[in-house]
Amino acid sequence: MLWLSAATGQTRCICVLGLSQVQYDDFEIVVVANAKGLAALDGFKGKIKTVQFDDANISMARNIGIAHSAGEIVAFIDDDAVPEPTWLTYLITPFSRDEVSAVGGFVIGRNGISFQWKARVLDRFGFASKIDVDEENPTILTPPVGHAVKTEGTNMAVRRSVLVDLEGFDPAYHFYLDETDWNMRLAAANHLTAIAPLAQVHHGFAQSIRRRGDRVPSDLFDIGASWAVFQRKFIEEETRKDHWASIIKVERKRLIGHMISGGLEPRSIRRLLGRLMDGYKVGLIREIGVGSDLEVPVTTYRPFPFRLRKYEYLSGRPLAAEKLRLNARKMLDASKIVTVSILSATAIFHRVRFHRDGYWEQSGGLWGKSNRTQPLVKIWSRKNRVKFEENRVRLVRSDHCSQ
């Protein structure tokens, strides 16, 4: 088994820290990143494979990572994401069915609770739409002809043999639509994809040259270029003009939304749309479909040192926060996975984060929402609320840990 981070930006040590707690006993870690990103991983020297790659091309980075991977299955995660401890167990389980070639999981957003993406399918124009699936058990999906199952690059796994057969990711997609292109080719080759809802990662949308930390875009060039490449590969020439017009409409609406919320100045909209158009022109002439020789791994398998961990859940009031955190750090030293719940006597919305020290921390109000289906305010006793929150994360954080 293998884990791969195909990251071209600064690799977050916190991502690898989260992976070090994954409760799966046979995997290796391959990190593809620039020099600055790799320098942050000195603490994992000798335990992981690292490959320096300085170009801003996520597809090429992924192909390099695949070339260095020596497991039968390749799982992907981004450097601004952290997996739940049970991530690999749930993500790998559907591969027990021989007909499954790829698996995608659910992705949690920056508040640590709400989902960015669950299950989606792609139409023939590359647009994704939500679908309902069983939210505990894996579902194998068979989309209509010309459609595909959408998987997210920050939480998916593929048989290595399939990656070899389809020549990996197309480097024409420097950024954006790289997974969409892969999903379309996978479906066209009649490979089946499963969705494993309990295989969950927390995704942060880190700041980059293309977007700010608040998700406001700073450049749309690569989005325009990627759509041009996608059109040339999958969309009939007579419908491309209307398709491109719909893309421009969607991007303009998105930018106006950021302007209304105060994230963009009006003059920025024209500049960003201009960059979108510039990218599209480049994408129309960019070389596409460049194959990769991935058949023989260039490095031997290097299993990450697995450690079976017991799960612990700590809770208390804000006044006890520092004591709880101190206890959490001590438990980490004793090879445990720890969640710290710090709830105030308020109705503040809840947040969950993976702390840089290596424990999970949930904060919010005793009577506040911890998911979208709850009322704005609900009266709980502290004992019942803590028990509810502990049970809410049990399946993804503790069910495959030593009890």
pLDDT of residue 402: 55
Q: What is the amino acid identity at position 61? A: A
Q: Which of 94-108, 289-303, 371-385 has the highest mean pLDDT?
A: 94-108
Please check whether residue 288 lies inside any domain of the structure.
Answer: no
Residue 64 shares a structural domain with residue 104: yes
Sheet holding 128-130, edge to edge: 128-130, 120-122, 148-150
Range of the domain at 153: 2-283
pLDDT of residue 205: 62
Residue 90 shares a structural domain with residue 21: yes
Residue 347 shares a structural domain with residue 234: no
The residue that leads in pLDDT, 289 or 63, is 63
The CATH number linked to 257 is 3.90.550.10
Average pLDDT over residues 89-98: 97
Average pLDDT, the chain: 92
Answer whether 155's CB lies under 8 Å from 204's CB. Answer: no
As given in the structure block, the two tokens for residue 195 are 């969705």
Residue 314 shares a structural domain with residue 181: no
Please check whether residue 147 lies inside any domain of the structure.
Answer: yes
- In degrees and rounded to multiples of 5, residue 369 shows phi and psi of -80, 140
Residue 274 shares a structural domain with residue 328: no
Residue 333 shares a structural domain with residue 266: no
Name the percent of the chain lying above pLDDT 90: 85
pLDDT of residue 373: 86
Residue 324 shares a structural domain with residue 255: no
Whether 256 has a pLDDT exceeding 70, the answer reads yes
Helix, strand, or coil here: 211? strand
Residue 35 shares a structural domain with residue 127: yes
pLDDT of residue 3: 45
Residue 237 shares a structural domain with residue 96: yes
String of DSSP letters for 302-317: --------EEEEEEE-
pTM of the predicted model as reported, rounded to 2 decimal places: 0.93
End-to-end CA distance of the chain: 24
Helix, strand, or coil here: 344? strand
pLDDT of residue 171: 96
Give the total number of structural domains in the chain: 2
Instruction: Give bridge partners of residue 313 from the DSSP assignment.
Output: 339
Q: At what angle do helices 221-234 and 240-260 cross, to 10 degrees?
A: 150
Residue 327 shares a structural domain with residue 277: no
4-49 tens-digit pLDDT: 444 433 445 899 999 999 999 999 999 999 888 898 898 898 999 9
pLDDT of residue 81: 94
120-177 tens-digit pLDDT: 999 999 999 999 999 999 999 998 899 999 999 999 999 999 999 999 999 999 999 9
pLDDT of residue 291: 75
Name the percent of the chain lying above pLDDT 70: 94
